[in-house]
Structure 1
Amino acid sequence: MNDKRIYFRIRNIIIFTLLMNMIFIFNIMKTKILCYIIGIIVLLLYLYINIIPLRLKKLNKRVCIMVSGYELIADSSLAVLIEIILYIFLLNTDNLTINSKEFIINGITAVCVLIIPVINGFMRMMFTSRNLGVVNRLLIVLLWWAPILNFIILNGCCKKVRYEYFYEQSKELRNDVRKENEVCRTRYPIVMVHGIFFRDWMFINYWGRIPKELMRNGAQIFYGKQQSSNAVCKSAQELKENILKIINDTGCEKVNIIAHSKGGLDSRYAISCLGLSKYVASLTTVNTPHRGCKYVDFLLDKAPDKFKNYVAKKYNRTFVKLGDKNPDFLAGVADLTLEKCSQFNIKVKDVEGVLYQSVTSKMKNMFSSGFPLNIGYILAKIFDGENDGLVEVSSAKWGNFLGTLTAGKKGISHGDMVDLTRQDIRGYDVCEFYVDLVRKLKEKGN
């Protein structure tokens, strides 16, 4: 805990304790005017604490509000302990001038004083934390009234928020240290290529917090901007056109491509079959099914044509409204089968002069992620083996393999690799992983 937070905590506990025990203070002090002055000052400070969030150096407003919420709950808990000790002391004092009625009124006042910062703190955490997730939010909303359970859930939420604060703080400290070095300023710009069923939207970034972190460390970032789902050859053509536009606009000679999921296949095709190789210095594929997915074959084979066409029609119609020109759900999925990927690898050969490298991850069980990756994990586990919820580990290996990432009890899912949920995972700093990845590209002269 830094010095500023220690100061705020001590200040808050003193104010809470004084306000909780104003009945006792009025009883003990003989000068009533002084009591009123103290009471007004303490009340104003109490309101200030509950309205104005902490201002912590170099941390953004969201994090400051979140930490303020955590502190309000933590400080209220400590104030409760102090109050219990105070009551035990007073009850064991022989010359006590406080009657039972005042004890009860003071106790009710103390409860009211503490309820406000607890609710306030919880609401701040609810609306600002990225780590809490939907499940924790639902649990506390549904079970706030349940004794013991509500404290267990609230304690779990506080731990997640505390970890998120330390994560954000350490990230800021790291960036301060290396700011001038621009460790991610590569020779060539970075083009980040999304996977299937997503688009490069202006307001919802497929890559989460990653691009911003890379840019803070000197990287020049662009996006693939291909449609959400289409045949690899068509997506590759769109990718090629966009990369040529980037080169024309910036004057750079080449680009470094970082591609996730099917985006890796789109990129390989554009490099090998569409003449893009002379404009690409490196291709890093992240959780890309280079050898296909067996369960995709199974699903396409077993699902009735009527059902497949219905889903495809709904998908295509939806994504046209979201910005795609002519998406093709079935064509995109079909190119992920074993047969199509086998044919793809025969046709699409690596080009000399382009650095090819890959990385993947794996989940540890079906509870490691939510829908649809939990279902995908089961299917991929049955047909393939260890997987990230969609892609089997061996299928993701291509070129220089950088390894299989996993962490904690849950592991790392297909979505976690691109910060899809914006949640921090113990043992895996997604932003730092990409900073290190790009730093090494820079060291290679790319």
Structure 2
Amino acid sequence: MSFNKTNILVTGANGGLGLGICLRLIDDFLKSRNATDTLNIIYTTRSTRKGTDTLKTLQAHLHRYHPSSQHNRATFQAENVELTKLLSVRDLARKLNSSELPQLDAIICNAGIGGWVGLDWFTAIPAILLDIRNNTVWPTFKLGTIGALTKPQLPEGSLADPEPPLGEVFCANLFGHYMLVHWLMPLLRACDDGTPGKIIWVSSLEPQSHHFNRDDLQGLRTDAPYEHGKRLTDILALTSTRSATEKAVASFTSVEGTKSEQAARSVPRQHVYHPGVVVTSVISLYWILQQAYLLGIYLARWVGSPWSNVEPYTAAHGATWLALASEEEIQQAEADAHPAAAAKACKVKWGTTVNRAGRSTVRPTEVDKWGITGSGESFASTWWGGSSGLGRKPGAVEAKAEDVEEFVALGAEVWEEMEELRRDWERRIEESEGNGGA
């Protein structure tokens, strides 16, 4: 009889989607795995108090929905991290790497901020009345901040060079995770080659090619830093298996120079998922406006929007499926997403869809200039939403081969730039430590 323990790290679990992912992991794991298999959820929040609140919620859920004979199959480990503070990220990585964890089977990079200050209601109301199904899914009326920066990362005077700016939304949503994942690579690469670790990037349904400015990697000059960063997330994840990005990805996943170098058994796989439209506190609204927004998303579902998940637990389906499915299952699903291009072994952006009754399904998502699988071949005839284009952005154009080539070339460029940024910050942190600052 085998006893397998699965360790999954979920960031941003104090509420919203992160908490929904943790709750759904409990349910999906206990009903799908052998009775001797166990699950350890390592979840992060920004404070001990929030971590304690999450622990109470997870334990209450486990005891309410599962028999006592199953309770010892799920354990929970609270950790604190502030993803806009690289020293906090480093401290968490050091703690986990030096712990008794044998490996990390998956990291779900969920935590983040919106960077919005509200909604343009004068634009939102007529847009929603005109087309509630699509304008609640791909809104154009969110108001974002421009140029928000993190607080200084390192103690004053600990560096010879001035500290470069670091975008707050960029760091919270992507770069903080990027550093965390790299620093936790010893645990990810400790997984068996047959069951490699997984890096699950949480993206959004919204980002389009126009949201990303190649000359502004951190999105400091845009009023849509959230969408900019999520587009960058898509580019990184979807091109991670292409030959053009191989060198940079190998650098990112390297454990060279660490004590775990000889123990590396596999290279983790990277996946990207989005939760559709889910109502959380990521955008701050007055209570009455929040209720109006909630009603609008429900109405959009009732008139046929497949992406209007509303509830975090429902929206979490795609993340938990990626975390718990075998790599063979995921590869088969990628092949099934576009049968004509199956032989090309391309990456898919997965999303959670829902029907009017609230039943969720995991579906492929069309990505601007990438298509479904990045094959450059037409998929409209086999699109899961049918000939009406249900689930596709109005006006979406299928990606051609030249679009995908440009997408991959952009991926190679930004992978290199992200690695340069990572190495630069690692150098600065080491220098600060050497000067007694970090």
Return the TM-score normalized by structure 2: 0.28
Return the TM-score normalized by structure 1: 0.28
Structure with the larger strand share: 2
Structure with the larger helix share: 1
